[in-house]
Amino acid sequence: MAARVPVDVDVVPERRIHPPEEGFDPARSFAAGPEALLVLHGYRVAGASERANELIARDLTGSDVRTAIPGWPEDLDQAEPFEAVLRVNGEDLPIEVRVRPLPDGYVIVSIRDARALIAGREAQALLVEAEQKYRSLVEQIPAIVYSDDGAFTNYVSPQIEQILGVTAADYLADPDTWMRMVHPDDRATVEAESDAFLAGQGGDLTDYRMVRPDGRIVWIRDRAFAQRDEEGRVVWEQGILFDVTELKDAEARIAHMAFHDGLTGLANRQLFEETLELALERGRRDRSVVAVLFLDLDNFKRVNDSFGHHAGDLLLTEVAQRLRDSTRGTDLVARQGGDEFLILLADLETSDAMTTLSTLAVRIQLALAQPFRLYGVDLAPSASIGISQFPNDAYDAETLLKNADIVMYRAKRAGPGRHQFFTPEPTEPAIR
């Protein structure tokens, strides 16, 4: 027997019931109606509509409704809609029953095939289950899922708190939160690309930065899909915000490794040459001086032989730092390899280029003369420095570097700790 289950009393259309007049016969009045109806007098079925007989597959007229329909209520005045199961032609038929008492002991009973109702409930249960599974999946992935109605964000997954440091409730409460958290340097680009996307004129947004309330910067990759109406207006939008901070950091490290020396962190020869080419282009355009200093440590081999290569690496690292400290912020210091270093000075005025370069060379020698402490021993290395200038000594990068190398060896032959400017000679000794 099915349990009584309250149901929506508004499903059956409202009927205006009038007190029966003299000679009124409810059974005869409803017998031909299109609905599955029974007319009771007390508990006896006084009449049944054709639809009721078809639904139940037998004529109930004259029977006791309590035996015909399981779960019949004891108090008709307090009866609520209920569900029952009939055995019809060897099969169970779920029905929904509604009872409406009338004066003079008459009762109207409407019966509805509940299979569609049950199927709807089952479908609704499956839909709820699917939504729960979808929500569980969405809220477990390491990204922020969001949904917009075309104007405002109406859902954002709870991962936002871990990734961006704000709760989902706070984010949804303020429509300006997203753009306010975009890094100021990226905001104009993001606004323009977002407007283009909503207008149907753009695709995915460029990766951009967002600033958490604690000040930490997070790189975001924003991927969205928009459903549009016939006029191209966004009806709703769904998207995912991926935290790609680690990826961006890795890319930056790879890029740094491609153009920087792994030991000292200085620029490598490739970056130096590329920067030199750009400086020469400006020099040709602006008629300014570009200079290259080629620096080689004196007697560095003795450090490796006496203390080992690890000590030599430590010394090279210290030398690199002192070269950074001795140069201007606009100068580029690079490690050529071994104990050789390059320094690029660009955009120099012709009138004071020689003074600037001489002053730098002396400043470098003084910085290197300050003792380095290695394994309890104070070392004060010196360097031989060759200086070549554009446009006086060379007009292209290759020749400028070659001349700086040549004059560096001239300085080394003159004694440790010297610097010289390039001047052409009739015959040059071999460089190596």
- Return mean pLDDT, the chain: 82
Share of the chain above pLDDT 70, in %: 83
For residue 11, what pLDDT band results from cuts at 50, 70 and 90? very low
Q: Are residues 267 and 401 in the same domain?
A: yes
- The pLDDT value recorded for residue 142 is 80
Q: Are residues 158 and 13 in the same domain?
A: no
Q: Which residue has the higher pLDDT, 261 or 103?
A: 261
For residue 150, what pLDDT band results from cuts at 50, 70 and 90? low
Q: Average of pLDDT values for 116-139?
A: 65
Q: Are residues 106 and 44 in the same domain?
A: yes
Q: Are residues 296 and 214 in the same domain?
A: no
Q: Average of pLDDT values for 308-331?
A: 91
pLDDT in tens, 225-250: 878 777 777 777 888 899 999 999 98
User: What does DSSP assign to residue 306?
Assistant: H
Is 432 among the domain residues? no
Q: Are residues 308 and 417 in the same domain?
A: yes
Q: Which residue has the higher pLDDT, 129 or 183?
A: 183
Interstrand relation of 208-211 and 91-101 (parallel, antiparallel or unpaired): unpaired
Q: Are residues 300 and 238 in the same domain?
A: no
Q: Are residues 61 and 113 in the same domain?
A: yes
Q: Are residues 54 and 160 in the same domain?
A: no
Catalytic residue among 243, 296, 339, 393: 339
Q: Are residues 291 and 402 in the same domain?
A: yes
Q: Average of pLDDT values for 125-143?
A: 66
CA torsion, ordered 317, 322, 328, 332, to nearest 10 deg: -30
Is 427 among the domain residues? no
Is 203 among the domain residues? yes
- CATH number of the domain that residue 292 is part of: 3.30.70.270
Is 431 among the domain residues? no
Range of the domain at 78: 1-136
Q: Which of these, 147, 156, 146, 144, lies nearest to 236 by C-alpha position?
A: 147
Our count of domains for the chain comes to 3
CA distance 184 to 207: 14
Is 282 among the domain residues? yes
Sequence-ordered list of residues with C-beta below 8 angstroms from that of 58, at least 6 positions apart, any chain: none
Q: Are residues 90 and 27 in the same domain?
A: yes
pLDDT in tens, 156-177: 888 899 899 999 999 999 989 9
Q: Are residues 349 and 243 in the same domain?
A: no
CA distance to 15, 55, 115, 118, 416, per residue, from 95 (Å): 21, 9, 7, 10, 108
- The pLDDT value recorded for residue 20 is 44
pLDDT in tens, 20-49: 444 444 444 444 444 678 888 878 888 888
Sequence-ordered list of residues with C-beta below 8 angstroms from that of 63, at least 6 positions apart, any chain: 44, 45
Question: Is the CB of residue 110 less than 8 Å from the CB of residue 36?
Answer: yes
Per-residue pLDDT for 210 more than 70?
Answer: yes
Q: Are residues 362 and 377 in the same domain?
A: yes
339 assigned to active site: yes
Share of the chain above pLDDT 90, in %: 40
Per-residue pLDDT for 140 more than 80?
Answer: no
- CATH number of the domain that residue 224 is part of: 3.30.450.20
Per-residue pLDDT for 2 more than 50?
Answer: no
